[in-house]
Amino acid sequence: MNMKHVFQPGAEDAPTLLLLHGTGGNEHDLLPLAQVIDPSAAVLSVRGNVLERGMPRFFRRLAMGVFDEEDLVFRTHELHRFVNDAAEHYGFDRSSVVAVGYSNGANIAASMLFHIPGALRAAVLHHPMVPRRGIELPDLSGVPVFIGAGRNDPICAPAESEELQGLLEGAGADVSVHWENNGHRLTHTEVRAAAAWYRMNVGEN
Ligand code: MLT
């Protein structure tokens, strides 16, 4: 159990929400989102193990928007192993984990989808980027993915959001994109859209 985290048990048979914060955040930031998306779900909220000038992240970057791919792959597997260990330790169903990530946290959630078959039952990605290019994705048939994107997001241009949608759909994922006009910010309307999507695509206990 080598990652700082918060675990909150959920109702019987409810999914587990894997909460993944943005750069400079921590394991407490996204807890209110779980209440909106699925109050009956268990919650595993994790702090990224990498520090960039004191700011927690889930993997290193070389510059703004330029990822250290070797570290990205290493950290993706590290997070996956942590979720496996946490499922055993806390007794939740590993096959029913739904990632909810914002920005850097959405990027590592997307990286789990890109690199590890069966890692996630579904994913809510708020303002994600394309985590990696030029690799073959695992079969993502039956995996619903919500992308919250910004028409004026200075960190992730609309074309990159559409590229991510295309890559995930190409692997069989069922992707819904919700567009906002609030830059890279995560707004209440976007969280409410994610919650409505979740009720349709994952269900609520
Ligand atoms: C990243 O590095 O993951 C993206 O640039 C988003 C962020 O600022 O965290």
Read off the pTM.
0.97
Question: Does the structure show a pLDDT above 90 at 1?
Answer: no
Q: Given ligand 1 and candidates 29, 57, 102, 107, which is best to mutate, with the most ligand atoms within 8 Å of its CB?
A: 107
- Over the chain, what is the mean pLDDT? 97
Q: What is the position in ligand 1's atom list of the atom closest to the CA of 57?
A: 9
Instruction: Locate the domains of the chain by residue range.
Output: 5-203
Element housing 74 (H / E): helix 69-90
Query: In angstroms, what CA-CA distances link 170 with 6, 55, 71, 136, 162?
Result: 34, 34, 25, 10, 12
Quick one: pLDDT band at residue 203, thresholds 50, 70, 90?
A: confident
Measured CA distances, 162 to 129, 141, 202 (Å): 10, 19, 23
Q: How confident is the model at residue 50 (pLDDT cuts 50, 70, 90)?
A: very high
- pLDDT number for residue 5: 98
204 has pLDDT over 70? no
pLDDT band for 205, please (50, 70, 90 cuts): very low
Please give the single-letter amino acid code of residue 97.
Answer: V
Concerning whether 126 is annotated as a catalytic residue, the answer is: no
- Reply yes or no on whether 127 is catalytic: no
| CA pair distance 47, 67, nearest whole angstrom | 18
pLDDT digit string, tens, across residues 122-140 = 999 999 999 999 999 999 9
**Do 91 and 85 form a contact (C-beta atoms < 8 A)?**
no
Which has the closest alpha carbon to 143: 103, 98, 107?
98
For the 5-203 domain, the top CATH level (class) is: alpha beta
- Give the Å distances, CA to CA, from 3 to 29, 81, 83, 121, 129: 16, 10, 10, 21, 23
User: pLDDT > 90: what percent of the chain?
Assistant: 97
3-state SS assignment for residue 54: coil
